[in-house]
Chain A
Amino acid sequence: MAIFKGNDVHAVAPDVAVAFFQGIMPFNTLDAETLGDLARHCRIDFFPKGTRILTADTTELTHLYLIQRGGVKAFLEDDNGEVTLKDFRGEGASVGALAIIRGTPANLNIETVEDTFCFLLPREIFLDLIEKQAGFAHYYLKSFSEKIVTTAYNELRHHKVAPRRNEDLYLFSIRVGDLVKTLRKVAATATIQEAAAFMSEYRVGCLLVHDTIDEDKIVGIVTDCDLRSKVVAAGLDYKEPVATIMNSPVQTVLSQSLCFDVLLKMMATGIHHLAVERGGRIIGVITSHDIMLLQGHSPYYLFREIRAQQQITGLYPLARKIPEVIRGLIGEGAKAGNITQMIAILNDHILGRILTLLEQEMGAPPVPYCWLLLGSEGRREQTFKTDQDNAIIYGDPVDEAEKQAAKTYFEAFAAKAIDHLVNCGYPLCPGEIMATNPLWCQPFSVWKHYFDHWIAAPEPQELLNSIIFFDFRAGFGETILAENLRAHLNREIAGMDLFFFHLARHCMETRVPLSFFKNFIVEKDGEHRNRLDIKRQGLTPFVNFARVLALKFGVKETNTLARLKALMEGEQIQGELWSAASEAYELQMQQRLVHQLRQIETGILPDNHIDPADLSDLERRMLKDAFTVIDRLYGVLERMYPVV
Chain B
Amino acid sequence: MRGLRRWLRLVAVVLILAGIVTAIAFPQAAWNAIQLPLFAFFSTTRMVIAYLFALVFAIAYGHTAATNKRASAALLPLLDVLQSIPILGFFPAALIFFVATFHGHPIGIEFAVVFLIFTSMAWNMAFGVYESLTTIPADLEAAAASFGLRGWLRFRYLAFPAAIPKLVYNSILSWTNGWFFLVASEIFSAGGTEFQRPGLGAFIAVAGRNGDVPSIAIGIGVLAAVVLTLDIFVWRPLGAWSERFRMETAPGREIPRVPSPYERFRWLPRLPKVRKRIIARVQPAVERYHRLSMRFERAYSRHPKALREIRRVDLALFAIVFVVVVATGLVGLVQMFLRPLPPNASVLPSAAVLSFSRLLVAYAIALVWTIPVAAMLGESEKAARYLTPALELFASLPATALLPVIVGFALLIAPSVGAAGQLAAILIALFSMQWYLLFNLIAGVRSIPDDLKEAARSFGLRGRAYWKRLLLPAIAPSLLTGSITAWGAGWNALIVSEYIQYAHQFYEVPGLGSLLNHAVYPTPDNEMLLLTILTMIVVVLAMNKLLWRPLFRRASTRFRLEV
Do A and B pair up? The answer is: no
Residues of A within 8 A of B (CB): none
